[in-house]
Amino acid sequence: MGLRSVVGAHWRVILLVILVGVALVALFVPGGLLPQDEFAGGGNESADAGASPTNLAYGLGLDGGTRISAPVVGTTAEELEIEPDRAGEVEATLEDELGVDSANVSVQFHQDSGFHTAELFVDDVSHEEFAAALRAAGVDATEGDVRDGVTQSTRDSIIRTIETKINEAGLSGGRVSQSSAPNGQYYIVTEVPDRTPAELRTLLSERGIVEVRAHYPDGEGGQTNETVLEQGDFAGVDPAAYNEQNGHHVPVSVSEEAAPEFQAAMNEYGFTGPGVGQCGFGEPGTDGQNYCLLTIVDGEVVDAHSMGPDLAGPMRSGEWVEDPQFVMLAPSQTEAQALSVNLRAGSLRAPLDFENDRTFSVEPALAEQFKLFSLVTGVLSVLTVSGVVYLRYADRRVAGPMVVTALAEVVILLGFAAAIRMPLDLSHVAGFIAVVGTGVDDLIIIADEVMEEGDVNSRRVFASRFRKAFWVIGAAAATTIIAMAPLAVLSLGDLRGFAIITILGVLIGVFVTRPAYGDILRYLLTGE
């Protein structure tokens, strides 16, 4: 028999062996099939490297960590026709009419639709009030134009900000995504290893709006406040630092556009003259004498300092704008770090609604146990299946390849998961067990059909019986895929992984492993 005819006769088995081989490489050879960072969504490679014997990536349930899914607070009015130059004016009117901060109103133009949207990031304004305020701003809007939720661009911006925040906070392996419910509500899903729910929630609930406010005498014995720097005015922000002179601080530089104005304000309000070193913020009896620069995060004063002589000098002479840098002080390392992260990541465009969230958290130690336990559970299930099949057929020629083929299916799937670095969770484990279950069912159909009524003595008889068996298998596979498809598409918590693994398993089964089992069985039964 020439090589070509051998390959021609056994190509199904050969394909199975090749796929199993590739899967084993993807699973066990360090580095796997693809370069580490190709598909790794910032996964946990660094933590796993060296420690794990396989290239499998694990999800939260099997690796430990915290996940919070929360909707975004806000309402949106869509398809508004606003003259491009009036957007700012509309925003200002909305702020006045509804009594909300400028940070909580956003009017945007959308290139693709050609319309404007107006968003409110508060939860205490009704659709009707929103529409009325829009009409007051001269925009044609009705209650029907207003819906709950925010725009995609706002969600994208929130996702980017959170990504920066968790990276800046040193949480490697964090993931941020959005998921949607059938009624159109969206959730922002944040996953990080090594943080408790309370810590992650603190990180996410800080909106991180930073501003610097001048707090100075009003000339009538009291104090007045003026915002002098906002988030967008900073050009560069360094990581938090510490030195003897300043304590904990964050070195920052102010943008070219904002620097002259800031310098002028400091000189005008007296910060560079009488105010140097004069700050007793919060101390009684100091009203009318305080010159404080307040660092304010989310409306709370985190720090108050007067201007030092080193900064006041160049400001007074007007040289400071040439190199507009200063340091923002903070009372502790944690707050300095938070300040730096907030300045660099930018603020969350809208807050997250933790009243309507879902939190899931597993300690790494427990997750490690789940890995072992689910492996044991899976192995026990496979052994049970093998036992029943042996009992039923009492023929090693039939039952042996059946178990081996079903396992090959799992190996190929695992290899696939390792290759694309799909993070495995408990639901995937359930999927693998389901795959063994459906796989063996189909192999039973093939075996029974082929061995029906006496021996199979020719290839022709075998082929005709195999075809009949395959009709049933194809039909059954199609139903399983249809039954699982909704779960694979809808984001129902952890179940997507289960559905995806089951569907992939069925596909690999129908196209690769079951035909190969047919060939093996034919060889064993007919000797051809």
Could you say which residues in the range 418-437 bind another protein, by CB under 8 A?
Answer: 426-427, 429-430, 433-434, 436-437
Question: Does position 376 bind another protein by CB under 8 A?
Answer: yes
Paired residues of 225 in beta bridges = 215
Paired residues of 216 in beta bridges = 224
The one-letter code for the residue type at 515 is P
Question: Does position 484 bind another protein by CB under 8 A?
Answer: yes
Q: Are 247 and 303 in contact (CB under 8 A)?
A: no
Alpha-carbon gap, residue 59 to 191, rounded angstroms: 9
Among positions 143, 226, 363, 528, the unique one binding another protein when judged by CB under 8 A: 363
Alpha-carbon gap, residue 253 to 166, rounded angstroms: 23
Question: Does position 17 bind another protein by CB under 8 A?
Answer: no
Cβ at position 324, least distance to another protein in Å:
41
Alpha-carbon gap, residue 303 to 328, rounded angstroms: 9
Question: Does position 464 bind another protein by CB under 8 A?
Answer: no
Question: Does position 380 bind another protein by CB under 8 A?
Answer: yes
**Burial classification of residue 222, based on how many CB atoms lie within 10 Å of its CB (0-12 exposed, 13-18 middle, 19 or more buried):** exposed
Residue nearer to another protein on the CB measure, 44 or 502: 502
Q: How far is CA 203 from the centre of its chain?
A: 15
Per-residue tokens: 318: 């007007």
Paired residues of 115 in beta bridges = 110
Residue nearer to another protein on the CB measure, 115 or 373: 373
Among positions 52, 253, 381, 526, the unique one binding another protein when judged by CB under 8 A: 381
Candidates 112-120, 163-171, 208-216, 380-388; binding stretch for another protein (CB under 8 A): 380-388
Q: What letter would DSSP give residue 140?
A: -
Could you tell me which of 307, 318, 246, 310 has the C-alpha nearest to residue 274? 307
Cβ at position 425, least distance to another protein in Å:
9
Alpha-carbon gap, residue 415 to 421, rounded angstroms: 9
Candidates 126-134, 161-169, 335-343, 353-361; binding stretch for another protein (CB under 8 A): 353-361
How many Cβ atoms from other residues are within 10 Å of residue 184's Cβ?
9
| Total residues interacting with another protein, rule: CB under 8 A | 81
Binding map of another protein across residues 289-328, x = CB under 8 A, - = no contact: ----------------------------------------
Residue nearer to another protein on the CB measure, 142 or 479: 479
Subset of residues 169 to 188 that bind another protein, contact rule: CB under 8 A: 181-183, 185, 187
Subset of residues 68 to 87 that bind another protein, contact rule: CB under 8 A: 69
Binding map of another protein across residues 183-222, x = CB under 8 A, - = no contact: x-x-x--------xxx--x---------------------
The one-letter code for the residue type at 458 is S
Percentage helix, strand, coil for the chain under 3-state DSSP, each rounded to 5: 55, 20, 30
Cβ at position 17, least distance to another protein in Å:
26
Candidates 80-88, 234-242, 410-418, 471-479; binding stretch for another protein (CB under 8 A): 471-479
Alpha-carbon gap, residue 367 to 358, rounded angstroms: 19
Alpha-carbon gap, residue 241 to 250, rounded angstroms: 6
